[in-house]
Amino acid sequence: MERKIWIDTLKGLSMLAILLFHTEVYYADHDVINYNYYVENALMAFAFASGYLFLKPQQALDIKRKMKSILTKLILPYFAFTIILALGKWLLNSHGYSLGELLLHVVTGVASWYVAALIVAELLFCLILRLTRNNLLLMFIIVFAFFLGVALLSSPQYYALNSQIADYWKWKEAMLLLFFIALGHIYSRHEDKFHFFNRTPSIIFLLVMVCIVKYLEQINNLQLVVAPVSITYYSVFIFDCAVSILLLIAICRRLPSLSIITYIGKNSLIAYFLCGAVPFIISTTFRRLGLPYNGDYLRIVLVYIFVIDATTITAYLLKRAYKFLRNNF
């Protein structure tokens, strides 16, 4: 199957957004640009892309093959990267945790929460597709039931119960990803019916809708935080992310192939594992060179450029050095 550049561009832009967020957090000690403006959209766009690519067009589900794919492309890399990063954190003593605590974070899925949630979501989605024999309507009903379960559990009346339930392997966040994985899968099965949204008038309309919903979220101080799950209105969350994804798709389909963005998109999972370590190292280096943030956003831009370059180069070197990464990413 011919590789679709627009989906790599979508994943690349989503990953660049996550790198920007981590750069701000590590360099400025907080998210300078409001989280609600773009972070949840990037996270859900990546989940949508995972759903879009979950099966090839018109391909029937081979559960053994898919489970093997999840094992080699998600589970094994999760343990490999997080154990190495845990050892690095322990040697540098950068987070104040003992080696035992860091390894416990790996085992319980805390070490890289998004990848852990994605693993749970994809495994569950695979089982749902098998159960429903890829009946899209029945699949969506089951997925939506899981989504509503987390929404209900996270509501104020169940706050006490929710706070007592351990979020190992980020199963709550996984239910949010599961919903957008399902949407991505539905989109891939009926892609021709969504071409309407790729027209110029539709793009303008989607852009206006995104601006309006972001403005309403801001003036009403709504929370749309994915991890830990803290969402004021789930209906707003769905609308915001769905419209933003449709807008991103339309834009990405029109963009020319931009090598660094598509490369990061093709290697987005490797980049995600690096999105904590690389911004931390470069931000620390800038501070030690006497260049702290001090409210100057141009310095964040400079650090961000270094972060993008370092992430891209590191991903390239890792793939050159390890055959496993070349074969699976």
Using the predicted structure, report yes or no on whether residue 97 has a pLDDT greater than 90. Answer: no
pLDDT value, residue 277: 87
Q: Which of the 8 DSSP states describes residue 191?
A: G
pLDDT value, residue 320: 81
Using the predicted structure, report yes or no on whether residue 1 has a pLDDT greater than 60. Answer: no
Q: Tell me if 41 sits within 8 A of 34, measured CB to CB.
A: no
**Mean pLDDT of the chain, nearest integer:** 89
pLDDT tens track for 35-94: 999 999 999 999 999 999 998 877 778 888 999 999 999 999 899 889 988 888 788 766
Using the predicted structure, report yes or no on whether residue 273 has a pLDDT greater than 70. Answer: yes
Q: Tell me if 199 sits within 8 A of 246, measured CB to CB.
A: no
pLDDT value, residue 95: 64
Average the pLDDT over 151-155 and give the result.
78
pLDDT tens track for 10-39: 999 999 999 999 999 999 999 999 999 999
Average the pLDDT over 105-132 and give the result.
93
- How far, in Å, CA of 275 to CA of 57, rounded? 31
- How far, in Å, CA of 188 to CA of 254, rounded? 18
- How far, in Å, CA of 309 to CA of 260, rounded? 9
pLDDT value, residue 17: 95
- How far, in Å, CA of 149 to CA of 165, rounded? 14
Using the predicted structure, report yes or no on whether residue 155 has a pLDDT greater than 90. Answer: no
Q: Tell me if 1 sits within 8 A of 253, measured CB to CB.
A: no
